[in-house]
Amino acid sequence: MKGKNIVIIGGNSGIGKEVAAQAEKEGAKLFLYSRSGEGTTQLDITDENSEIQDLPEVIDGLVYCPGSINLKPFHRISPEDFKAEMDVNFFGAVKILQACMKGLKKSESASVVMYSTVAVQTGMGFHAGIASAKGAVEGLVRSLAAEWAPNHIRVNAIAPSLTDTPLAKQLVSTDEKRAASDKRHPLGRIGTPQDIAAATLFLLDEKSSWVTGQILHIDGGMSSLK
């Protein structure tokens, strides 16, 4: 990881911020982007006219963190809601991947990490919007992993369950809500940004040099245990 150029989209909050902190400790050179621009280069991935600036010539790692949690019953999800989910989670990722492709191909061993959700594999009520968008992400991950393998670019995703980030604050805003969320997980707690960041760094590192096209479930056992 030392000396590697790592691009993080959404690098000033939640999981992205923790990935940046852990990667910096490992000696990586960081290129951080976020919508607010606070401590990063400003980039709104939902703005069709927004272009990513100041990318390094060689990109050894790309982490795409933007996401959404909009839980509604299906009959209340409008076409505009579905589009908004896709814009942040899928089309924004496509835009960034295409912008970074040239730099990734110049690396001797590049790694792309994206994020899905446990709700793609495990059917959950009120998750139709986000599960649909992240399902598209998982398809993209596998397709690009196959297409870019000859270029020595690995593409993987992490599928977390509920993680204690600003994005999820409404779901754990009271002691009662947090306790109920903890109880739903076989390991007895929700995830932390550190949990997800540690897995992200593994996928960015050469330790995972034979791993591509995978969806890594870091979810406290939610997807596979009862």
- Catalytic sites, residue numbers: 116, 134
Answer for the pair 7, 56: CB distance below 8 angstroms, yes or no: yes
State the Cα–Cα distance between residues 75 and 125, nearest whole angstrom: 12
**215 three-state secondary structure:** strand
Identity of residue 152: H
User: Which residues, at least 6 apart from 214, have a Cβ–Cβ distance to it below 8 Å?
Assistant: 145, 156, 157
Identity of residue 120: V
Answer for the pair 204, 113: CB distance below 8 angstroms, yes or no: yes
User: Which residues, at least 6 apart from 80, have a Cβ–Cβ distance to it below 8 Å?
Assistant: none
Instruction: State phi, psi for 197 to the nearest 5 degrees.
Output: -65, -40
